[in-house]
Every structure is written in C-alpha cells, then in structure tokens.
Amino acid sequence: MYSIATCNGWEQFLEFAQSRCSAIAFGNWLAPIRVLEYSDEKVVLEVPNIFVKEYLLSNYKKDLSAFLPLNADGDAAIEFQVIAPQKPAAPLPVTVITSKKSDESSVDLKLNLNYCFDTFIEGPTNQFVKSAAIGVAHRPAQSYNPLFIHGGVGLGKTHILHSIGHHITKNLRKLKVQCITTEAFINDLVESLRNKSVDRMKRYYRSDIDVLLFDDIQFLQYRRNFEDEFTNTFETLINQGKQIVITSDKPPSQLQLSERMIARMEWGLVAHIGIPELETRVAILQYKALQRGLRLTNSVAFFIAEHIYNNVRQLEGAINRLSAHSRLLNTEITEELVENILKEALQHAPRTKISVEQILKTVATVFEVRLSELKSTSRLQRIAEARQVAMYLACKFIKESLTMIAAYFGRTHSTLLHACKNIEKSLPTDLLLSRKVSMVEKSITV
C-alpha cells in the first residue's frame, strides 16, 4: 500500500502525460496503471499487460525519470507487475453464429462452415501459422496477442481466421467473437455516422467483443480516419485483455499505416503463411478431390500441382472443374484430359512454371541426345554431361527441395550436388558448354 502523499511523483507524471497525449490514449494506456508501492528507492507499478509497460517506457522513459525516483543508471526505478492473465470477460452468454442484435452493430458473424482446422491441410509453409492459431483458439488472449497472419492471396488466411472463430464459438461459448473484413468495418462505421449511432458502434466494438477477427487489414491503408478508429478499438480491446487476430497480404512493416498502428501489430506474434510446396499441394488436391468424390491418381495430382503452384484457391478451382467434367463425361481423369480442361488455368498462371520435364526436353534438343538417354543411367560422356546440365538447371530454376529434385531424376541428393558443382566449375572455362547452357536457359525462361 502507498500513501497519497508519497506517490506525488506518479500523479505529477500523470498530469504531465495527460497534457501530452489524447484523452483516448490516456484512457487506454495510462489510466489502467496502478501504483502498488512507492518509496524513495523504487516505484512498483501494476500494469494490465506487457503492452502497457512497453507503451510507457517507449513513450515516456525520459519524462518518467524527471518525476520518479532514480536507479543507479539514472533511469526511473520502476518495477512492473503484470496482472495475471484472466479469461476474457464474458458478460453475456451469447452464441455468436446467429447473433444479430437490433441494438448493436449491423455486422453479423459470418463464418464459412468449411473453414475449420480439420479441413486445413498443413505442410512446412503453413504449419507455424496453424499451430499459433490453434494456440489462440484454445486460450484466447493468453498466448499470442495480437496474432498477425500475413501471406499472399489464396493461401488460407481467411480459412485460418474462421477456424479460430469456429473453435471458440464451439468450445468457449460464452465468449463473444466478431469476425469482420476491413470493408465491413468501414461500412459499419460509415453507416453509424449516417445514423448518428457512432457511440453505439464504438461501445459494441470496444466493450461487447471478446475476440476480434479482422480480415484483410491492407484495405485500411490510405484511409486515415478509419484507421484511427480502428487503432483506438484495437488498443481498447487489447488493454481489456481481449484477443485480436489480424490478417494481411503483407507484414506490418510493409503496410502503409501509421507507425503507431504498425508497432501495435508487431507486439504479439507475426506469422507468415507461405506458398505450399509441391507435396502439400498434392495433399490438398487429393483431399479436395476426396471431398468431391473425385478419384485422382498420384501422377495426375502431381501434374496439376506442378502447374498450379502459388494459390490454393486455384487448385480448388481446378478440382471443381475436373469434378464437373468427370461427372458429365463419366471418364477417368488422365493427364491429357487435365491439360485440356485446365488449359486456361494453366496458361493463366502468372509465370510459366519450369518443370523438370521441360528442362530435360530442352537439354536433349540443345545437347543433341535422346530424352530416353538422358533419363537412362548411361555413363557415356556426352550423355552424362547433358544429364548433369539438366540437374544443374533444375536446381537453379525449380523451387523445390534438393531431395525432391533428386527424386525427379531418380538420383540421390549427393549425385545432384555433385552434378551442380561439376557444371558450375566447368562453365567459366568451357565456352561451348556455357553457350549451350545459356541457350537452354533462354529457351526455358521465355
């Protein structure tokens, strides 16, 4: 306990800070701090979470030392105690999926029923995000807060976000979840301004929500007024121990948002969701095909996964089209059929994917060997050299693991490495080889 007289320094600091920051920032950040102990040696402050501590030190470090007792380094001698994390408050036992309340925001919770953890296929590039999301779904506001998920289009960000929503609405029924896109948030704000019900909307977002799932924050860029509103909502929720999950197509630092907002988003866990590598793409295709009752051989799945490689949504589209055709024509799905049906999707892939087969074919033409010879185990010098060139180019142009590339050639990882080294060594001195290699490169990269 402290006596009023002895914590004058803190009160003076608060007065000073109040004159320096907005009322909202003061209410969000400084007002919740309690003085537990105040002596000539140190001040013990109780903060609702680590963010408040960071806020205080990053904004007021120097000022604090002017008002509070100092330590040996000349800094304010503050000891922080973080209040033990509590379960987010759940004032009303509302089941959220159906909730639409006339006195509340016009926004409904719309979760896609297919987007749950069970239907999300994981691989090395999305495992981390999935685990973090599961952590948040099990213990909202007690693991990573905020959780910031970023990655390219069609890689499963919304899927993961809705999975968190489903899990919480199913297992922690008392918690109130709001899942909203940036566009919907802005529309809600505009609508509230029009109806003069902004206060109600603010109250809704800032006190009636336990978990805010915010999709596609990149659309908040260049919309300063809306951004400020979101930042205030964000800070209020975080300081009340509410969970926030945000998705974006870029990491926080690359978003054109205020420094304040970027810093807030980097507080918790920033997790990247990457393009699934070949094996995961095959697993996703097989899973989606199974869901639609479509039989897909492994070689066809590999064929599709090799050609459509940077967007899971396109993989899904391919499966949908194939499943429609196979139902109509009642035929087996072969590579030729796939090529015919998906011509458009394959052609419209943003950049032509270089495949091992393509490299082998081009190398065979330029080095004047037969494709079958390249694929054989022949050790004839001219064939072995051409094969090594193909391996070298595969390593250079194909974004797969070395083990995977070696498997395409039916060779081991170390044979592949040996081939690459050999060609790299010869290129600077062997002009003919170097000319041929660049011919192949030109031909496969146009």
Q: Which residues bind ligand ADP (CB under 6 A)?
A: 115, 119-121, 126, 153-159, 284, 312-313, 316
358 near Mg ion, rule: CB under 5 A: no
What residue type is 49 in one-letter code? N
For the residues of 174-214, what is the DSSP string, one character each?
Answer: TS-EEEEEHHHHHHHHHHHHHTT-HHHHHHHHHHS-SEEEE
Q: C-beta of 302: minimal distance to ligand ADP in Å?
A: 17
If contact means CB under 5 to 8 A according to the sort of partner, which of ligand ADP, Mg ion, none does residue 312 touch? ligand ADP
* Residue carrying structure tokens 């002017």: 66
Burial of 298 (0-12, 13-18, 19+ CB in 10 A): exposed
Nearer to ligand ADP, 228 or 249 (CB): 249
Q: Using alpha carbons, select from 110, 211, 234, 217 the residue that is nearest to residue 162.
A: 110
Both tokens of residue 6? 């002895």
Q: C-beta of 255: minimal distance to ligand ADP in Å?
A: 16
Contact status, residue 402 vs residue 395, Cβ threshold 8 Å: yes
Both tokens of residue 108? 């409904």
If contact means CB under 5 to 8 A according to the sort of partner, which of Mg ion, ligand ADP, none does residue 323 touch? none
Nearer to ligand ADP, 119 or 131 (CB): 119
Q: What whole-number distance in Å separates Cα of residue 145 and Cα of residue 245?
A: 7
Nearer to Mg ion, 28 or 181 (CB): 181
If contact means CB under 5 to 8 A according to the sort of partner, which of ligand ADP, Mg ion, none does residue 126 touch? ligand ADP
State whether the Cα torsion 127-133-137-141 is positive or negative: positive
Nearer to Mg ion, 49 or 158 (CB): 158
Q: C-beta of 155: minimal distance to Mg ion in Å?
A: 9
Q: C-beta of 247: minimal distance to ligand ADP in Å?
A: 6
If contact means CB under 5 to 8 A according to the sort of partner, which of ligand ADP, Mg ion, none does residue 159 touch? ligand ADP
Q: C-beta of 248: minimal distance to ligand ADP in Å?
A: 10
If contact means CB under 5 to 8 A according to the sort of partner, which of Mg ion, ligand ADP, none does residue 156 touch? ligand ADP
Q: C-beta of 156: minimal distance to Mg ion in Å?
A: 8
Q: C-beta of 401: minimal distance to ligand ADP in Å?
A: 18
Nearer to ligand ADP, 170 or 313 (CB): 313
Nearer to Mg ion, 158 or 182 (CB): 158
If contact means CB under 5 to 8 A according to the sort of partner, which of ligand ADP, Mg ion, none does residue 153 touch? ligand ADP
Contact status, residue 273 vs residue 125, Cβ threshold 8 Å: yes
Nearer to ligand ADP, 52 or 109 (CB): 109
Nearer to ligand ADP, 115 or 302 (CB): 115
Say which residues have a Cβ less than 8 Å from residue 175's Cβ, sequence separation at least 6.
Answer: 88, 90, 140, 168, 169, 210, 211
Per-position x/- string for 149-168, each x denoting binding to Mg ion as judged by CB under 5 A, each - no binding: --------xx----------
What one-character DSSP code corresponds to residue 367?
T
What one-character DSSP code corresponds to residue 104?
S
Nearer to ligand ADP, 156 or 268 (CB): 156
Phi/psi at 247 (nearest 5 deg)?
-115, 155
If contact means CB under 5 to 8 A according to the sort of partner, which of Mg ion, ligand ADP, none does residue 294 touch? none
Q: C-beta of 163: minimal distance to ligand ADP in Å?
A: 9
Inter-axis angle of helices 224-239 and 198-207, nearest 10: 40
Q: C-beta of 216: minimal distance to Mg ion in Å?
A: 6
If contact means CB under 5 to 8 A according to the sort of partner, which of Mg ion, ligand ADP, none does residue 46 touch? none
Beta pairing, strands 269-272 & 147-150: parallel
Say which residues have a Cβ less than 8 Å from residue 96's Cβ, sequence separation at least 6.
Answer: 109, 169, 176, 177, 178
Q: C-beta of 273: minimal distance to ligand ADP in Å?
A: 7
Nearer to ligand ADP, 312 or 394 (CB): 312
**Closest CB to Mg ion: residue number:** 158
* Residue carrying structure tokens 């459509």: 308
Q: How far is residue 361 from each of residues 6, 374, 393, 410, measured CA to CA in Å?
A: 84, 9, 12, 16
Nearer to Mg ion, 157 or 167 (CB): 157
Beta pairing, strands 211-215 & 243-248: parallel
Q: C-beta of 258: minimal distance to ligand ADP in Å?
A: 24
Sheet containing 211-215: order of strands: 177-181, 211-215, 243-248, 147-150, 269-272
- Can you give the binding site for Mg ion, defined by CB under 5 A? 157-158
